[in-house]
Amino acid sequence: MNTEARIQSENATPAAAPAEAPRTMVEAINLALARAMQDDDDVVLLGEDVGVNGGVFRATAGLRQRFGLQRVMDTPLAESMIAGLSVGMATQGLKPVAEIQFMGFVYAAMEHLISHAARMRNRSRGRLHCPMVLRAPYGGGIHAPEHHSESTEALFAHTPGLRVVIPSSPRRAYGLLLSAIADPDPVIFLEPKRIYRAVRHPLVDDGQALPLDVCFTLRQGEDLTLLSWGAMIPECQRAAARLADGGISVELIDVASISPLDMDTMIQSVRKTGRCLIVHEAARSCGVGAEIAAGIGEHCLLNLLAPVRRVCGFDVPMPYFQNENNYLPNTSDVVAAAMELMSYNGE
Amino acid sequence: MAEQGTTNRQFSIEYRQYLDVQGKPLGPLPPDSSESDLLLNAYRNMVLTRALDKKAVALQRTGQMGTYAAALGQEAIGTAIGYAMEADDVFVPAYRDQAAQIIRGVKLEEILAFWGGSERGSDFQGPRRDLPNCIPVATQISHAAGVATALKLRHPGQVVVASCGDGATSRGDFYEGLNVAGVWQLPLILVINNNQWAISVRRQYQTASASLAQKAIAAGIPGIQVDGNDFIALHDALTVALKRARKGKGATLIEAVSYRLCDHTTADDATRYRSADELNEAWTREPVKRLQSCLHDNQLWDAGQEQALQASCRQQVDQAAQDFLSREPEAAHSMFRYLYAEWPASYAYQEQLLEEKLARQSQEGQQHEH
Ligand SMILES: Cc1ncc(C[n+]2csc(CCOP(=O)(O)OP(=O)(O)O)c2C)c(N)n1
Ligand SMILES: [Mg+2]
């Protein structure tokens, strides 16, 4: 068999996929992309190595074979162009889903995202708009080379007009990506690559979307509200379980849409528990945690039994991987901070 | 104004090659190539680079190294850069330039450290002014133009050599850097390692331009295409370009036409997107064997020397690997030490947070042991 034929047969989707199958996050993303493309001819994919190679993380595997060269475009290597193309395509009714190979290479695209994608609807008073999605794997913990491990989601969250969405499970990746693609405005969809393949969850490929702009309460609790997103969610789940062993009841919320923030859900929870701990991998200063803490401070002052706390990355670039574990927040960091909040007595 | 139908400008791109794929001269060789030991040293460096790459890939496969970008099949390019440059010139690499870096005085252990997850790999003990590896594709080209501007102002006669890939020529930084190098007549030589692939994207899908060298024309600088597997041709083109730049006559773009015989990096699997036939065909043009044959034909090399060289290269890379593996990781606090000239006082509490984190980690480690 020649390479081309072999590639096609390897990437072919099995004809009768089981209704419910255990899926990793990256498989769920692949399924959501395929579903969106099947349901809507306007959805097109573009990016570096998304075609014949199926993406460096295999998120687009098999899609070029299935939907053709015109809908799955391997672009020249230029992120600014990828974002600019997407803006232009989107103004003409296409729904581009662009992949930036790693979040660390998105910065050349920022001008188009900030100055155009985020503003097109507003500046044309609704005449034009930008139904585009920009996907990028992000975050640390996989021993990747320099520039492959940062978490700079706050840069996007600080830009009015963009939605910023981060899944933390296969199911939410599937459902949120479908919504992101269907959304009439630009969505930055950040994929925590450390948990791309960490777990398999049963998933039905039924086209069922999950809502944007809302949090997901993963665990109900009475003593402390734990707020996080992305690859920190599994750390927080472990922390919550450990704390439960010690008799501390944690309410764990996956923020998921870090812009716009669903402050209502978070405020309701903190009003109930009286304690708030925010966990993110990104650097502390001006991180999304700061915005959440401000919102909690503004609305929950009289409910708080302890100061709002953050467990975050340090205010440094992500160290190369020999030291990345000394940077990344982990389960124990979360447990320790939670215990401090529980024993806070005003001193 | 030009009359209708007249040709305003015409351009051509030279292709330079001295050795055929068997290492036989196609004509008279340039005078430089008979300089004492140049070809022998070049050959030794290419073999050493290949040995280093092999070692690094083996370390990665056994979990002792991070992702690694080998230069298999492209060793002549960096080697020619290294030998064409003077010590006080500045090299601005991409991330596949170990062949040049070794000659510049970057230690093998430093190269391993960079890919092995330690910032110390960029603290070159040798070439203190060379820039570190640059992973965001093409961005180094703008920096190289800036370095060239600094040299022009402060150290006339010194030059910058920068490197990039074929994929990099699609980015704005490539055009922007070349453009300013043209207008300002900067002492900058940009070498494109055209290894035909940007991960899975073929050169043909990167640009409709017939050559990459002709991108120089729009910037108003000379552009030349060179057989990138022919050390002699590369060294000759570089020598001419560097002389020109030293005299204040400006920048040159050199497209080195080669082939990536390895995967893009250890994280890649090239069998997904290219055929074994294509790869096998490319092996017939590879640079190391070609220079070896040339040396052999000129009675400059024999089997005994080859054996000794292979052994010595193995020994050097084994030693480097050992040094790399036995070196303790930097202390966690190093993440604060080098961020600014001085760590801001208002961030001091973060050192405290790190201290507490480390204490928890070591406590858990101990619990784990018991
Ligand atoms: C700005 C940017 N975008 C994407 C990447 C991911 N990436 C790393 S290397 C590469 C291909 C580069 O191809 P080329 O310029 O031909 O250099 P080669 O690796 O072939 O030497 C890509 C897309 C990156 N490092 N930087
Ligand atoms: Mg290339």
CB nearest to B336's CB, from A3, A108, A316: A316
A53 with B200: Cβ contact below 8 A = yes
Q: How far is residue A141's CA from residue B53's CA, in Å, rounded to a whole number?
A: 25
Domains of chain A in start order, with CATH, are: 3-204 (3.40.50.970), 216-342 (3.40.50.920)
pLDDT band at B346 (very low <50, low <70, confident <90, very high): confident
Q: Which of A150, A104, A137 is nearest to A316 (CA)?
A: A150
% pLDDT > 90, chain A: 93
| Domains in chain B: boundaries | 14-325, 334-369
Catalytic residue among A148, A201, A280, A299: A148
Coil, strand or helix at B189: strand
B335 with A78: Cβ contact below 8 A = no
Q: How many CB atoms lie within 10 A of CB B271?
A: 14
Q: What mean pLDDT value characterizes chain A?
A: 95
Ligand 1: residue whose CA is nearest its atom 21? B165
pLDDT band at B150 (very low <50, low <70, confident <90, very high): very high
Q: How far is residue B360's CA from residue A179's CA, in Å, rounded to a whole number?
A: 40
Coil, strand or helix at A74: strand
Determine which helix (DSSP H) or strand (DSSP E) holds A182, and give its type and residue range: helix A170-182
Q: Is the pLDDT of residue A6 over 50?
A: no
pLDDT in tens, A92-118: 999 999 999 999 999 999 999 999 999
Ligand 1 binding site (Cβ under 6 Å of any ligand atom): A 48, 77, 79, 101, 105; B 96, 135-137, 165-168, 193, 195, 197-199, 260, 264
pTM attached to this predicted model? 0.95
Q: Is the pLDDT of residue A11 over 50?
A: no
% pLDDT > 70, chain B: 99
Q: Is the pLDDT of residue B82 over 70?
A: yes
CB nearest to B273's CB, from A52, A105, A315: A52
Residue A225: φ, ψ to 5°: -100, 125
Task: Choose the residue to mutate in B137, B163, B202, B215 for probing ligand 1, maximizing ligand atoms within 8 Å of C-beta.
Answer: B137
- Angle (nearest 5°) at CA A178 between A188 and A117: 30
User: Rounded to the nearest 10 degrees, what angle do helices B38-61 and B108-115 cross at?
Assistant: 30
Alpha helices in chain B (DSSP H): 38-61, 75-84, 98-104, 108-115, 139-154, 172-183, 203-206, 215-219, 231-246, 276-283, 287-297, 303-326, 334-337, 348-369
Q: Is the pLDDT of residue A7 over 50?
A: no
- Domain spanning B14-325, CATH architecture: 3-Layer(aba) Sandwich (3.40)
Residue B164 alpha carbon, nearest atom of ligand 1: 15
pLDDT band at A251 (very low <50, low <70, confident <90, very high): very high
A322 with B117: Cβ contact below 8 A = yes
Residue of A nearest to B60 (CA): A143
DSSP assignment letter at A213: S
Return the active site residues of B.
260, 264, 273
Q: Are B317 and B68 in contact (CB under 8 A)?
A: no
Q: How far is residue B18's CA from residue B41's CA, in Å, rounded to a whole number?
A: 18
Q: Would you call A143 a catalytic residue per the annotation?
A: no
Q: How far is CA A79 from CA A44, A179, A216, B164, in A?
A: 17, 24, 32, 16
Lowest mean pLDDT among A279-288, A334-343, B23-32, B282-291: B23-32
Give yes or no for A105 touching B (CB within 8 A).
yes
Cis ω before A260 (30° cut-off from 0): yes
% pLDDT > 90, chain B: 93
pLDDT band at B62 (very low <50, low <70, confident <90, very high): very high
A49 with B200: Cβ contact below 8 A = yes
